[in-house]
Amino acid sequence: MKILGIMGSPHPKGFCYQFTDSFLKGAASKGAEVKQLQLIKHNIKYCRGCYKCVHNNQELPIGICPLKDDMAGILQEYHQADGYIMATPVYDFTVTAVMKTFIERRFALYFKNKSEPGIPAARVKHNYKKKASIIVTGSASDDYAPIAEPCYEVIGGHFMIEEIEVVDQCYIGSVHNLDEEHYGAKLDETFSLGVRLVEEIEKARQEDE
Ligand SMILES: Cc1cc2nc3c(=O)[nH]c(=O)nc-3n(C[C@H](O)[C@H](O)[C@H](O)COP(=O)(O)O)c2cc1C
């Protein structure tokens, strides 16, 4: 089983990275093959809204974007994974620009006939056999955890369309001011969420047998 971490902090070794790493260690402890993709280290251009990826090649699981950058390879990895941890810091009440740029380029995972009205549909639906979790870090304390809601919506909207169940959403507040005890507790919590994601995917697979 492959679990892909998609990490949207511009800070490569920051808190968001550390909690994503802990989550993936939890998933690996259950036998999953894990990888953390740090979006900031990749060349991901802005979506130009040309709709070429969405309107063409319906037979493909991933549409073809005319932009030449790292996204085609990233979407291949995304397509091949069984589960996801998507993590972002809160920046100005929502996901970082790094994460948003990636999310917009996921448009290639959708298809729509040009002549028909409405929004594009997922090229591949996963019938909730694939699962995901979301981690959000922020300066606001845990008392203000609802500050993460817009991040959950922006990230979770695509999972909804692709029929990927979001198992857990976790906000880690006061991230720059956690003492050793609380920092350790959050590492333990994110590790457990990684374990849980793998268990939930296994459970969904067993239901099919
Ligand atoms: C430009 C910017 C905007 C931010 N906006 C918010 C915010 O709206 N709410 C909040 O709680 N924290 C905010 N923060 C704090 C970040 O969420 C925090 O620095 C981040 O979660 C730490 O993760 P990192 O170590 O991976 O960078 C902001 C930080 C920056 C740099």
Write out the two tokens for 69.
Answer: 């950058």
Q: What is the pLDDT of residue 50?
A: 97
pLDDT at residue 73 above 80? yes
Question: With bands split at pLDDT 50, 70 and 90, how would you rate the model's confidence at 143?
Answer: very high
- Section 89-107 average pLDDT: 98
> The pTM is what?
0.97
Q: What is the pLDDT of residue 207?
A: 87
Which residue's alpha carbon is nearest to atom 29 within ligand 1?
91
Distance 13 CA to ligand 1 centre (A): 14
Distance 80 CA to ligand 1 centre (A): 31
Q: What are 158-167's pLDDT values in tens digits?
A: 999 999 999 9
Q: What is the pLDDT of residue 77?
A: 98
pLDDT at residue 120 above 90? yes
- Section 127-131 average pLDDT: 96
Which residue's alpha carbon is nearest to atom 31 within ligand 1?
91
pLDDT at residue 208 above 90? no
16 lines ligand 1 (CB under 6 A): yes
Nearest in space to 77 (alpha carbons), one of 43, 34, 29, 111: 34
Of 55-64, 122-131, 190-199, 200-209, the least confident: 200-209
Ligand 1 atom with least separation from CA of 9:
26
The single-letter code of the amino acid at 83 is: G
- Section 65-83 average pLDDT: 98
Q: What is the pLDDT of residue 153?
A: 98
Q: What is the CATH number of domain 2-208?
A: 3.40.50.360
Q: What are 173-197's pLDDT values in tens digits?
A: 999 999 999 999 999 999 999 999 9
